[in-house]
Amino acid sequence: MQESSRGAGDEALVLSGVTPLETLLARFCPQNENEAADVARIHELVAATEDPWQRSIPLHITASAMIVHPATERVLLRWHRRQRAWLQVGGHGDEGETDPVAVALREGREETGLEDLVPWPDAALVHVVIVPVPATTDDPEHEHADVRFVLATANPDAVRPERPDAPLRWLTLPEAQAVTTEDNVRETLARTEKLFSSR
């Protein structure tokens, strides 16, 4: 996984007005050709769009997180009614938000009630993937350019679902791999497992 400490290159990026998203992407190393292609599309989106987070454009940025309890090597999945699947937490930025880490933290806290969430083992990206989203009565078909992190809690029993129809489950990694139906989530889980193994 890429280094998380800031260096002279990061300071130059900040001083040049580069956004937090661009800084994270500049430090991220795609792990396969598909991910490299998705990262390239996101760079194109950022270059061509004043606000790549706005939900009205066909491809826009979202930020999500795999929440973990490092002491027990468990992960927290949320039932998403729209997708009818167990997925990681996360979602869209609020108006004016541009920092993916801040968006992932806010969404994680809102959806789980876990107020002690922190980036783990650092604030680097763990996975980047463009996910197609089917049309609904409210929204046309579109794509999420999802940038993913790992967030940790030291107090897993404090978890509280945001809504009754969005239950949460603490699972071992094998259990999580078994219940999710999304290959891109399985990949995020596999990368999370590597982080556990590298401690």
Total tally of structural domains belonging to the chain: 1
| 106-163 residue pLDDT tens | 999 999 999 999 999 999 999 999 999 988 888 899 999 999 999 999 999 999 999 9
By DSSP bridging, strand 142-152 and strand 59-69 are parallel
By DSSP bridging, strand 168-172 and strand 74-80 are antiparallel
Task: Give the per-residue pLDDT at 168.
Answer: 99
What CATH number is given to the structural domain containing 102?
Answer: 3.90.79.10
Identify whether 2 is part of a domain: no
Average pLDDT over residues 26-53: 97
Average pLDDT over residues 6-11: 46
109 in Cβ contact with 146 (< 8 Å): no
Instruction: State whether residue 102 is helix, strand or coil.
Output: helix
Identify whether 28 is part of a domain: yes
Identify whether 1 is part of a domain: no
- For residue 31, the enclosing domain spans 8-197
Identify whether 72 is part of a domain: yes
Q: pTM for the full model? A: 0.90
Identify whether 183 is part of a domain: yes
Q: Which residues pair with 145 in a beta bridge?
A: 61, 130
141 CB neighbour count, 10 Å cutoff: 10
Q: Which residues pair with 171 in a beta bridge?
A: 75
Average pLDDT of the chain, as a whole number: 92
Identify whether 43 is part of a domain: yes
- pLDDT of 16 higher than 60: no
Identify whether 81 is part of a domain: yes
Burial class (CB in 10 A: 0-12, 13-18, 19+), 191: middle
Identify whether 71 is part of a domain: yes
Give dist(CA 126, CA 137) in Å, integer: 33
Burial class (CB in 10 A: 0-12, 13-18, 19+), 8: exposed
